[in-house]
Amino acid sequence: MSKRLAAEFFGTFWLVFGGCGSAVLAAAFPELGIGFAGVALAFGLTVLTMAYAVGSISGGHFNPAVSLGMAVGGRLDWKDLVPYWIAQVLGAILAAAALYAIASGKADWTPGGFATNGYGALSPGGYALSSALMIETILTAGFIIVILGSTSKIAPAGFGPLAIGLCLTLIHLISIPVTNTSVNPARSTGVALFAETAALGQLWVFWVAPLVGAAIGALIWRGLLAPHEGAL
C-alpha cells in the first residue's frame, strides 16, 4: 500500500507542478505564446507521462474524483479511497508550495489567482456558479467514462494513458474560460492555499462537482456501456 500511495503522491505532484506551473510560470508571459492551448496540453502531458510511469503501481489516478469513480466502477477497494485522497491532496499542496517558491523568485511577481479555479469574478470568462457546477460535473463524468473504457480488459493494451491524457487536454480546452478547469479536487486545493483571491471560499464547488460527476460517469459506464462485468 505504501508504494501505491507514494505513486499517487508523486503523480499528483507532477500533475499540479506541470499543469499549474505552465500557467503560473509560462502562460504569464504572452511572448512565449503557449496560451490556453499550451496550458491544456501541459495538463494532458502530466497525466499521460505519469500514467505510463507509475500507473501500473497505483492505477494512476492523481485525482480524488478519479479515485471515487474507480471505487464506484469497481476498480478500487473502498477502504483505499481516503488514503488515496490524502496522498493526492498532499502531493498537490507540495507542488503548489514548490511553484510558489520558484515563482516568488521573480522580483515583481505576485500570486494573484495562482492558477486557481473559480466562478463569477474568479472565472476567466466571468461565468456564473451554475455554469461552473454544470461544466465540472459533465466533464468529470466524461473523463471517468474515458478512463474506465480505455483501461477496460477489452480495450487495446497500452493505449489507456494516451487516451486519458488527450481527454484531459480536451477538457481543459473546453473549460479553461469557464472555471480555469478543475475536474480534480486535489489540484484545486493545492493552489487555492497560495492564491491572493477568494479561491478558498469557492473551493467547495471544485470538490462537490467533480465528485458528483465522477460517480455519475462510473454509474453510466457500469449501467450502460460496460459490455459485461468482466470488462470492468
Domains in the chain and their CATH numbers? 2-231 (1.20.1080.10)
pLDDT at 88: 98
Helix or strand run (H / E) with residue 42: helix 35-58
Per-residue model confidence (pLDDT) at position 31: 66
Low-confidence spans in the chain with pLDDT less than 50 = 230-231
Which residues, including other chains, have CB under 8 Å from residue 194's CB and lie 6 or more apart? 96, 97, 99, 100, 111, 114
Calpha distance 157→152 (Å, rounded): 9
d(CA 148, CA 75): 9
Task: Please report the pLDDT score of residue 155 as a whole number.
Answer: 83
The pTM of this model reads 0.93
CA angle 168, 141, 154 (to 5 degrees): 80
pLDDT at 231: 47
Q: Which long-range contacts (CB under 8 A, 24 or more apart) does 167-171 make?
A: 167/44, 167/142, 167/143, 168/43, 168/44, 168/47, 168/143, 169/40, 169/41, 169/43, 169/44, 169/45, 170/40, 170/44, 171/40, 171/139, 171/142, 171/143
